[in-house]
Amino acid sequence: MINQEIKTLIAAQCDEMIAFRRDLHRHPELPFEEFRTTQRIAEELDKIGIKYRLTQPTGIIAEIQGATAGKTVLLRADIDALPVMERNQKIDYQSTIPGKMHACGHDSHAAMLLTAAKALYHLRDQLKGKVRFVFQPAEEIAAGAKVMIEQGVMDHVDNVFGMHIWSQLPTNRIACQVGPSFASADILKVTFKGQGGHGSMPHDTVDAAMVASAFVMNIQAIVSREIDPLEPAVVTIGKMEVGTRFNVIAENAILEGTIRCFNVEVRKKIEQAIRRYAEHVAAMYRATAHVDYIYGTLPLINEERSALFAQSIIQQAFGEQVLCNERPTTGGEDFSYYLEHAPGAFALVGSGNEAKDTKWAHHHGCFNIDEDGMLLGAELYAQYAWAYLNQNQF
């Protein structure tokens, strides 16, 4: 299934790939503001001769049609940055925009996919079918995939494949497990309304601070007593706004948090329980409650055949020692929306290297990648598409 010419072509483009990644790193753009990034990708596609169309407000869908008809495989890279101040002092390609940074590696995703596109375009006369390249905006706010789908990105697609550079994995290791990979990532906002008053006269009030505190303490029982212990779930309240002054009993409390799990039925059960807890805790203290439960990303569940297919490609292209197991993460990933429309898989490409100081957590101001890992990522993109279109297993 492996095309040795792809390996040669990718290796020959290594310096260009790193230079392009560093250019994007210097000019990070937030979700749905990736106008320069989109333009730079388009310029490179123009140089190659690959046809594409711009999506709105940002992003690109490009295609290579093989010599003969066949299936369509979609390769996706996200391109947005984060509102994070860069703290890397030892590199010469730091962000030039204060408070904005490629702190999750999406700059490398775009560079790897562009490099894979160059290799596959060179071999287009040997392809059976079509490769669709998606440079997607706004992954960090879980909105870009939905917007791309609305603009037709999944039309007539038979299989999808994506990846994420991963600082928690050593460089030269790749994971693509069957089943759960990323969790659903929902947003919770609960507003409690009581009755304020003087701190010395609590009997004339309904204390929203007590209501909020009771709610925060009690909802952990949802996970520990209402959810199957074999089903991972996280309920976190990360922000509380309660009260206005030291001697004024709070009338209002606003709580915000997130819920993570790997099962849509568990997700529904947690939502229902949170609404029930909010209503009953509020009633117990004579307050009222309003719950806003916002669905974020779906759980990202790698389809079995696609994940096993990716594993076989990793082993054949790079050796059995490169393939590794990585436990599912409760982080979110909007690639999950593509998997609603077609089977596919999502891989994690290692870039953690102590010697190069690239083991910082994603979204940290010191985050950086070992660029040696990009060679594997770019080739994996290309080899997956090549093998999928030129074999008869699917």
Contact of 394 with 71, CB cutoff 8 Å: yes
Is residue 140 part of an annotated ligand binding site?
Answer: yes
Contact of 385 with 121, CB cutoff 8 Å: no
At 95-140, the pLDDT tens digits run 999 999 999 999 999 999 999 999 999 999 999 999 999 999 999 9
Is residue 104 part of an annotated ligand binding site?
Answer: yes
- Cα separation, 377 vs 391, in Å, equals 21
Residue 285 shares a structural domain with residue 156: no
Amino acid at 370: D
Whether 186 sits among the annotated catalytic residues: the reply is no
Question: For the chain, what is the domain count?
Answer: 2
Given 34, 44, 80, 334, the catalytic residue: 80
146 — pLDDT class (breaks 50, 70, 90):
very high
Residue that terminates a domain, selected from 245, 272, 297: 297
Is residue 280 part of an annotated ligand binding site?
Answer: no
- Comparing CA positions, the residue from 143, 146, 120 lying closest to residue 63 is 120
Whether 80 sits among the annotated catalytic residues: the reply is yes
Residue 289, pLDDT above cutoff 90: yes
Residue 291 shares a structural domain with residue 304: no
Residue 78, pLDDT above cutoff 80: yes
Residue that terminates a domain, selected from 251, 273, 297: 297
User: What is the percent of the chain with per-residue pLDDT over 70, rounded to a whole number?
Assistant: 99
Is residue 363 part of an annotated ligand binding site?
Answer: yes
Residue 89, pLDDT above cutoff 90: no
Q: What is the mean pLDDT of the chain?
A: 97
189: helix, strand or coil: strand
Structure tokens at 10: 């990718």
Q: In this structure, what CATH number is given to the domain that contains residue 242?
A: 3.30.70.360
Max CA-CA distance within the chain? Answer: 82
Task: For the full predicted model, state whether its pTM sits above 0.75.
Answer: yes
Residue that terminates a domain, selected from 297, 316, 349: 297
Domain span including residue 25:
4-183+299-389
Q: In this structure, what CATH number is given to the domain that contains residue 346?
A: 3.40.630.10
Amino acid at 297: T
At 362-391, the pLDDT tens digits run 999 999 999 999 999 999 999 999 999 998
Tell me the average pLDDT across 345-370. 97
Report phi then psi at 364, rounded to 5: -90, 150
- Cα separation, 280 vs 304, in Å, equals 42
Residue 318 shares a structural domain with residue 292: no
280 — pLDDT class (breaks 50, 70, 90):
very high
Given 86, 139, 251, 303, the catalytic residue: 139
Question: What pLDDT was estimated at residue 393?
Answer: 63
Is residue 109 part of an annotated ligand binding site?
Answer: no
H or E stretch covering 112: helix 106-122
Q: What's the alpha-carbon Rg for the chain, to the nearest Å? A: 24
Spacing of C-alpha 88 from chain mean position:
23
